[in-house]
Amino acid sequence: MEKVHEISAGHLTLNKVSEIIRHNYKLRLGDDSRERIVRCRKYLDRKIAESEVPIYGVTTGFGSLCNINIGKDQLSQLQINLMMSHACGCGERVPNEIVKLMILLKIQSLSYGYSGCKLDTVERLIDFFNNDVYPIVYIQGSVGSSGDLVPLAHLCLPLVGLGEVEYQGKRMDAASLLKLKGWQPIRLASKEGLALLNGTQNMAAFCCWSIIQATKLSNWADYIAALSLDAYEGLLEPFNRAVHIVRPHKGQLDTAANITRILAGSEIVNQPKNYVQDPYSFRCIPQVHGAVKDTVRYVQKVTDVEINATTDNPTVCPDDDLIISAGNFHGEPIAMPMDFLAIAMSELANISERRIYKLVSGTRGLPSFLVASPGVNSGFMITQYTAASIVSQSKGLCTPASVDSIPTSQGQEDHVSMGANAGTKLYRVVLNTERVLAIELFNAAQALDFRRPLRTSPILESLVANYRQVVPFIDKDVVMYPYIARSVDFLHSEKMENLNRAL
């Protein structure tokens, strides 16, 4: 049965966003949203007709052109010109899954009835979402205020039959898509182009995608780290609750408890050890993984506010009889958290790479580079090189974008957030972290096999058994990159919620 999500003035959670995208929900406007959109538009039309005072972006130009009044017979053309002139994107394409998030978040923002869009404009965005029409949007171009002007211009150009889209795997011009679907181009009314372009939905979409992935990877990191710990014959004492209750950060407590749960019943962990400490990359898993968990929670909390906000300009407030030009388009509220999340995810990969290094180092009874006959075989030597290269790149990407600002629009827009750059850098760091964790899993499973016949915990034995269906034990040198790719795919295919429930 087709699943439908009703867009309303109610609260949209990040969990719901994930569910809508993952389960391919269709969207429809609720009655309350329809009423709010129509009411706002009628109010705006009335104010334009009655007002002798210029209204920014409605009866004036944009940015530093705000003092130029536009005749009523040119208001529609003003909006079309805005969209065409602002479509200046460069670089690679925004992935379709993030484009779909952009459309969802733009619909949600417009549904509150503070933007002045017509009902048919919002409904056409819903048509795009429900029919998997992906406007071609480019990663580069937004400075993060006035919102995401450039990527949102590319996102919304197809509404009026301009720009390009991808539909059913084919790239085509938007006019051809509209003809194929039997849709008429939207005729924009006053203020609509600005409402469509002047928001934070590009930044917010990258942020939503990154939080969803970061949550999964943070969970995976505990399982993979626990496997590495046991394969390295690490100590369980650093995970004792008594240690963490005296420094009770929630993420630290949660991580210690989770590792203890995952390793319950391991024969290896209960073997007597002749050493009293592990390297920090094992001993400090609760502190580092825990800080990542706390960061993800914080960024999710901020993003939850952002995706339920109206972020275009001016804000149309029928209840207060006001049209206010202000700054809700400024991306700073999520730019800084995205920079923070990039740092956290980079650190998750950083500590993972250090565990990989220990696993291949030929210590604690493990063979050098995790191969039975080192020398003639290099084994897993270069997997650590690859992880190190990826981690180094992520460290470079963690220079905060939000500390930069380059004035635009002849100085009228003299402080910008660079939030879109924060989002695209975060996106790359998240992908890098996934690859490093996959490499650690590749190494940890290999190391575990050298501990046989001892067994790890039932949870991890089940995990490794599933992993071994796609990645074998490496007996002698082989071409390695396909197994790294399969390891990455394994992190996608194994749903963490199912793993927790089954094990």
The residues that are catalytic are 56, 86, 198, 280, 283, 329, 413
Tell me the C-alpha distance between 110 and 116, whole Å.
Answer: 8
Specify whether the CB–CB gap between 7 and 111 falls below 8 A: yes
Phi and psi at residue 31, to the nearest 5°: -60, -40
Q: Which two tokens stand for residue 251?
A: 């993420």
Tell me the C-alpha distance between 135 and 128, whole Å.
Answer: 9
Specify whether the CB–CB gap between 383 and 484 falls below 8 A: yes
Tell me the C-alpha distance between 114 and 134, whole Å.
Answer: 26
Burial of 11 (0-12, 13-18, 19+ CB in 10 A): exposed
The DSSP secondary structure of 145-176, one letter per residue, reads SSSSHHHHHHHHGGGGT-SEEEETTEEEEHHH
Lay out the sheet containing 170-173: strands in order across. 133-135, 164-167, 170-173
Specify whether the CB–CB gap between 441 and 493 falls below 8 A: no
> Residue 51, by phi and psi: left (phi above 0), alpha (psi -120 to 50) or beta?
beta
Nearest to 352 by CA among 422, 460, 280: 280
> Residue 183, by phi and psi: left (phi above 0), alpha (psi -120 to 50) or beta?
beta
